[in-house]
Amino acid sequence: MSVKKKQWNDYLWIWTIVYFSLGFFNILFAWLGMIDFILPLLIAIFQGKKTFCSKYCGRGRLFLLLGKNLKCSRNKPTPKWLTSKWFRYGFLAFFLFMFGNMVFQTWLVASGASSLREVLTLFWTFQVPWDWAYTATNIPAWVAQYSFGFYSLMLTSTLIGFIVMVLYKPRSWCAFCPMGTMTQGICQIRSKN
C-alpha cells in the first residue's frame, strides 16, 4: 500500500496554532487572521473554486489532525440540521451581522464615542479580560479594538468547531463554516455565468 507523501500544506494546522499563540501575547497579531478571510473569497471570485478549503485552510486541517489522527472525535455522523441549507445560511447571516457589529464597535472607538475595551467576547456573550496582550502605543485605539473583536470572532468560531469536532465528525464545522458557505455560494454563482 502506498503512503501519500506529505505536502507542505499538510502542515498548515501549525499556522492556526501560531495565530492564536501570537494573539495571546500581542492582540495586534489578530489582524493576520484577515488573510483567512480575504484569501478564500479572492480564490473563489477569481478561480471559481474552493481551493482554500481543500488546500490551504489551517483550521480545517487542525480539526482533521485532532479529530482523525489524534482520535479526539467521537466520529459520529454530523446531524442533518447542521448541514441543512437553512442552518448554513442562517448561521452565515448571524455571523455577518455580528461581524458588522464588531466593525461598528471599532468605528465607535475610532470616532471617540467609545473607549477601547481590552476584553475578548467569546460566543458573542462572555467577556474575558485580555489586557496583558495590549500595551498602548502610537497605534490608534481603533486598530486594537478591531484586533480584540476579530480575535474574539476567530476564537469563538474555532471553539465551536472544536466542540462539533469532538461530538461528531472531525470536520463537522466545515458543514456550516461561514467562509465555506460564502465561497460555495460564490462558486455556484460563477458556475451559472
Residue 168's SS3 state is coil
33 binds ligand SF4 (CB under 6 A): no
Other CB atoms within 10 A of residue 10 CB? 14
Whose Cβ is closer to ligand SF4: residue 62's or residue 109's? 62
23 binds ligand SF4 (CB under 6 A): no
Write the CB contacts of 166 (distance below 8 Å, at least 6 apart in sequence). Answer: 67, 72, 73, 74
153 binds ligand SF4 (CB under 6 A): no
Contact 28, 143 (CB under 8 A): yes
Instruction: Give the integer Cα–Cα distance in Å for 185 and 179.
Output: 10
Give, in degrees to the nearest 5, the angle at Cα 155 between 150 and 158: 125
40 binds ligand SF4 (CB under 6 A): yes
- Site map 70..109 versus ligand SF4, x via CB under 6 A: ----------------------------------------
User: Of 91, 20, 96, whose CA–CA distance to 62 is shortest?
Assistant: 20
Q: What cell was used for 73? A: 472525535
180 binds ligand SF4 (CB under 6 A): yes
| Identified binder of ligand SF4 from the candidate list 27, 28, 53, 109, rule CB under 6 A | 53
Q: Which stretch binds ligand SF4 (CB under 6 A): 79-87, 126-134, 142-150, 169-177?
A: 169-177
CB of 190 to ligand SF4, least distance (A): 17
- 88-to-84, 93, 98, 174 alpha-carbon distances in Å: 6, 9, 15, 10
Whose Cβ is closer to ligand SF4: residue 35's or residue 139's? 35
Q: In terms of DSSP bridges, do strands 119-122 and 126-129 run parallel, antiparallel, or are they unpaired?
A: antiparallel
Whose Cβ is closer to ligand SF4: residue 102's or residue 154's? 154
| Identified binder of ligand SF4 from the candidate list 66, 173, 186, 187, rule CB under 6 A | 173
Contact 175, 53 (CB under 8 A): no
Q: Which stretch binds ligand SF4 (CB under 6 A): 7-15, 19-27, 54-62, 89-97?
A: 54-62
Binding site for ligand SF4 (CB under 6 A): 40, 53, 57, 59-60, 173-174, 177, 179-180
